[in-house]
Structure 1
Amino acid sequence: MPTRQPNPADGSADDAWWNDVLRQALEDIGAAQQRYPDLFPQGISKVELQFEAKPNLHVKMLVEGPQGSQAATTTGLEPDDQAQHFESILQPASLLTSASPAEGKSTNQAKLKAAKTLEGAAKLFEPACKGEVSSYANNCAHYLSDALIDAGFSDLSSAHACVTHRCGTPDCTSGGKRPTRAKDMRCWFLEKDGSPVSSVQRGTGFYAVYQERQSDGQGHVVILDSGTWKFYGTGWYEAGQAAPNDWKHEYFQW
């Protein structure tokens, strides 16, 4: 966090404060690249700053790579603000083909069984965290982890070696502290099923799916009901397409 505070009376900041903000943001980029070296394998082509004045002054940095991938890191002014550190990679529109599952609707969820299972999580999935809509750029892991926790997978709600970031203010006000990163969820999936497969047959049950775009390493998580060929999550990205939409899949089942 920046070491200097804005003027408490009017929220203004001097040049030295802005220098602190920019230096911290650049340090955030460096830390994120070290932790996730596949985020921008072809380098960074654009950096954009956005300023939000209310309720507290915040500086949001959008970073874009040559393939159009984006990540955001927020540097706030209060010591307890949580920096996003690149977990919010902008989610693109779904990439669907004739082979893709359809999005599951509430009418489909009503037919699912409540239990501590992937089916139970699919039944509870909603595009929200504890009923609150988040302002993160990408909420695939955020909302899916919320459904999994609500279904009974309580280990995700406590300290876990796989989880490197949880939701918090100002982007999520639910207080849920849910995991927000797709790669973290993949780590957790691997603990449940250490032998994922790259494709599945219809009618073989429910799967937790990790999808990754090979051109820039962007990850996505979703639940698949192979029986009805429906997905539950914030989107679906069909595998086997040409770059830059070269997604691959890993299917986990337990």
Structure 2
Amino acid sequence: MAEHFMKAQQGDLSSLMERAAKHNSTVPFEGYSREDGNIPGNIVVVVSDESVYSFANSDIMEREQLGEDRVRVWVRAGATAFRMSRIRAGEPEDSFTVAMEHIAPPASPRLAGDPTAASASVADEQMEHIAPPPSEGLAGAPSYAGGDTAQVTVPRVLPPLSSVGSHWTESCLGGDTFANNCAHFLSDAFIRAGYTELTTANPYINARCYTYARRPIRARDMWAWFQSRAVRRSNTPTRNTGWWAVFQLNEAAYWGGHVLLLDTDAWRYYGTGYYGTWNQYLYQW
């Protein structure tokens, strides 16, 4: 009897391990689904009113039924697919594998010892009365008298990460939302705090929200930007080490990852969730 029970457990564990291994080389998509009437052998997945995908059934490694006609599918990484979506003329096209703003992330677990969530610090209606931080010169930067003809660009002192926390509203100035808003709302706080480089053409930002606010909306884009700014890095959140910009990732659970701001002195995070069991990438500047 005991031997039979052990074999059953081993079989269940092997099945779970095989399933997890499959997810390591797949990309998840979630939406309403039906057979593709235009391409035999494909299914259509309507992720949102902005994005519609068509995948070959042979490229779908796993399928989970979420409702009568709603599914989550794991598509083989590197598979060729079709996407129909709204675009803005002149903007670069993005790979179909990175539109994670339309896929809801897993629920944020609440584990013992995790930092607590911060509440929104500033209401949207208050922002019109708050001026951005002034532009300041770095210590030792060259200066010129008013009559000099030489023109220089004086570098700005970056606002401290703590100021980003004070501008966290858990929203976007444009008022829109996606299925995943971690980068959307965090980039909004960075911009409100004075990081205006995120509002203009930026080599690390590949997608923005569709309102006039034009906030960056993808966690992996913000991750790349964090790395470009970082002067200190860590892979372990540690109390009383200051403020950190954080990217959390478990590709098997959610390919797009998650971004947040962490105040280790108060042990509080600013973001739409916290995934302490995922891989941690922390950055300071």
Q: TM-score range by the shorter chain?
A: 0.5 to 0.7
Q: Which amino acid aligns with 1:249?
A: Q
Rate the CA distance shift 1:127–1:180 in 2: closer, same or farther, 3 A. same
Rate the CA distance shift 1:176–1:62 in 2: closer, same or farther, 3 A. farther
Match of 1:45 in 2: 62
Deviations 1:5-38 (Å, cap 9, x if unpaired)?
Answer: xxxxxxxxxxxxx749x69733xx69xxxxxxxx
* Whole-angstrom distance in 1 between the partners of 2:72 and 2:262: 31
Shift of 1:228: 0.5
Helix, strand or coil for the counterpart of 2:258?
strand
Do the aligned residues in 2 keep the contact of 1:214 with 1:248 (CA within 8 Å)?
no
Across the aligned residues of Structure 1 and Structure 2, the Cα RMSD in angstroms comes to 3.7
Helix, strand or coil for the counterpart of 1:218?
strand
Do the aligned residues in 2 keep the contact of 1:210 with 1:222 (CA within 8 Å)?
yes
Rate the CA distance shift 1:104–1:121 in 2: closer, same or farther, 3 A. same
Deviations 1:163-213 (Å, cap 9, x if unpaired)?
Answer: 111111xxxxx4211111100000000001165211132111110000001
Question: Normalization by structure 2: what TM-score?
Answer: 0.56
Q: Are 1:251 and 2:282 counterparts?
A: yes
Shift of 1:126: 1.7
Helix, strand or coil for the counterpart of 1:234?
coil
Larger Rg: 2
Do the aligned residues in 1 keep the contact of 2:232 with 2:284 (CA within 8 Å)?
no
Rate the CA distance shift 1:95–1:140 in 2: closer, same or farther, 3 A. same
Do the aligned residues in 2 keep the contact of 1:197 with 1:251 (CA within 8 Å)?
yes
* Whole-angstrom distance in 2 between the partners of 1:196 and 1:163: 21
Match of 1:25 in 2: 53
Rate the CA distance shift 1:79–1:201 in 2: closer, same or farther, 3 A. closer
Match of 2:74 in 1: 65
Rate the CA distance shift 1:43–1:120 in 2: closer, same or farther, 3 A. farther
Q: Which amino acid aligns with 1:252?
A: Y
Shift of 1:117: 2.1
Q: Are 1:137 and 2:179 counterparts?
A: yes
Rate the CA distance shift 1:104–1:214 in 2: closer, same or farther, 3 A. same
Structure 2 runs not aligned, ≥5 long: 1-36, 46-51, 76-81, 124-131, 134-158
Deviations 1:212-247 (Å, cap 9, x if unpaired)?
Answer: 0142433000000011100001000112xxxxxxx1
**4+ residue segments displaced more than 6 Å:** 81-84
Q: Which has the higher strand share?
A: 2
Q: Which residue of 122, 127, 131 maps to 2:165?
A: 122
Match of 2:148 in 1: none
* Whole-angstrom distance in 2 between the partners of 1:106 and 1:181: 21
Q: Which residue of 259, 272, 285 maps to 1:234?
A: 272
Question: Normalization by structure 1: what TM-score?
Answer: 0.63
* Whole-angstrom distance in 2 between the partners of 1:93 and 1:25: 24
